Amino acid sequence: MLRSLLPLGVALLGATSVLAVDPPSCSLDKKCPEEAPCCSQYNQCGVGAFCLGGCDPRMSFSIDSCVPAPVCKDKTYKMDSLDRYKHISEYLGDSSKVDWVGQGEPLLYNGHTLLTMPPKSVGTVLATTTYMWYGNVKARIKSSRGAGVVTAFILFGDVKDEIDFEWVGVDLNTVQTNYYFQGITDYGNTGNLTVDDSYNKFHDYEIQWTPDEIRWLVDGKVGRVKKRSETWNAKTQQWNFPQTPSRVQISIWPGGLETNAKGTIDWAGGKIDWNSDEIKKYGYYFATFGEIKVECWKTDKAPGTNKGVSYYYNDIRATNDTVVDSNKPTILKSFLGTGTNMNKGETTQSGSASQTSAIHAIPGGGVVGSGNAPGVNNGGSSSGGPDSGSNSGGGAVANPGCSSDSFVQNCGQAATDGDSNGNNSNNGVRGAERLGASAFAVIIGIAGLLFL
């Protein structure tokens, strides 16, 4: 028997304690306070899960507030089981036991994973627990459909480096590609590829990422290439090219939410219809994900190695030369822990914890999904989720000592933000009018979680 999904608002009943007080916000100009030192992907400060995947060391209290990130592992994710998926409120950093962490309502159907978006919800997002520092990732996907409905398959780094495939539900013959360096908005970074009926037909989408170029492929054919050599920023003396360890993220989210900025709604194809035929028939919008394969970059020396246990940053510039492939641990003892005190909250010999409660330990409000639920009465599927991007954006960091003939950015101190032409119209913050989806998932996610 099929079952409609419970609205995410029901799941929020168990998270009210987290939302009792709004978490402090964070940005490049406003770092997290010492008592809530970790700046999450959603640009809010806290401890516990705030310090795991998505924690931005540039905006945190200190560069070592974030927990080191698990290194890249070659892996094929069959997407036919949710046994190795954990909600963000259940994951403490052990990537040997968990493949995916997320929020929302993933479901299984016909050997695939559906990412779903019930009425008035903010959708679903899943992220790998290990990181890629260059390499290839390929996913078999059917997108969602409908005005305002967005599907995403991206690489997203803790310092907002990003490489995207995105689908807008009103155009099933186009997939959009994009990339960002440290979240800096550049409207010239987008590019569209043609695809045949992304909703009803599976296609293989692939990102090939090396220190020198990004290649976007559809069904084995290269559709777009962006070379690192084309991204030199003369003003800031650096490469505006994604270059730091990133998680694979898949999501579905409401770009057409009526509370979004007009530019976002227009880009998403209009306001989302929560009474559409899709909702009436299935109880939710959805995207379908089949097999996802990750192949790590093979190199003997940095950048791009994966010889150790974890990655961390040794400099606030957060460029590829500041990434350390290390043997530092990645697992917290409790949701009270941080990168500087990973054992905080550890259970004592008597069986009691050293502390028993924490405010702001689960980013985004701690939505708890129902997990392994029955599928839908439909053969189509697609993938997506409250996308990965970050609204705080991030600034380009000037490196006066860099030269444009090498891609090891061992250069100078922080300076101003800018796009690839040295222009700076928005201080490096990804604004709500951006013509690309992922920046807004953050706003949608937080606002939706607070007010559902």
As annotated, the active-site residues are: 162, 166
| Burial zone of 121 (CB within 10 Å; 0-12 exposed, 13-18 middle, 19+ buried) | buried
* Cα 38 off chain centre by: 16
DSSP code for 368 = -
CA gap 37, 55 in Å, rounded: 10
Helix (H, G, I), strand (E, B) or coil at 155: strand
Helix (H, G, I), strand (E, B) or coil at 325: strand
Which is it for strands 100-103 and 310-313: parallel, antiparallel or unpaired? unpaired
Which is it for strands 124-128 and 162-168: parallel, antiparallel or unpaired? unpaired
Considering Cα of 270, then 275, then 281, then 282, what sign does the dihedral take?
positive
Return the HEC string of 68-129: CEECCCCEEECCCCCCCEEEHHHCCCCCCCCCEEEECEEEEECCEEEEEECCCCCCEEEEEC
CA gap 67, 37 in Å, rounded: 11
C-alpha separations of 89 from 112, 427, 436 in Å: 24, 33, 28
Of 53, 52, 34, 55, nearest to 44 (Cα)? 55
Contacts with 9 (C-beta within 8 Å, 6 or more apart), sequence order: 120, 121, 452
